Amino acid sequence: MDQLKKVEDYLKQVDFFSVSTVDGNKPKCRPLAFHLYLNGELYFGVGTFKDVYKQLEVNPNVEICACNGEDFLRYYGRAVFEKDDTIADMVLSKAPAMQKIYNETTGFRLGIFHLEEATAEFRSKMGIVEEYHF
């Protein structure tokens, strides 16, 4: 199995995951649910009007943490935003609830990113069970 697909499969098992960034010198963490595995890449999306987007523009280092029972996943690296809206448009075409937020009337855009120089750690409470580098 593709190692990145393994990360996606884990994220599918949880209702949401936490995304951690840095705001100045303070950590910030928030829940997120959107992820998409497409053409061998794992994408995430955030509103370009949100603080998380602005924080990632200043400091692209990000960590995603998802818990499933006693096990958890840490997936961290450097966020790279897509330069065009192709993936965002595809996502919005299939997500009516998101269309109500991200549209021409509101002016809100969905920023899509993936991680580079990334590491995925599948962990138990005793330590790392599997680790992959991308």
Contact (CB, 8 A) for 57 and 40: no
71-112 pLDDT, tens digit each:
999 999 999 999 988 999 998 988 888 899 998 899 999 999
Q: Which domains does the chain have, with CATH numbers?
A: 3-133 (2.30.110.10)
- pLDDT > 90: what percent of the chain? 87
Tens of pLDDT along 29-44?
A: 999 999 999 999 999 9
DSSP state of 16: -
What is residue 86's predicted lDDT score, i.e. its pLDDT? 93
Contacts of 119 (CB under 8 A, 6+ apart): 74, 75, 76, 77, 131, 132, 133, 134
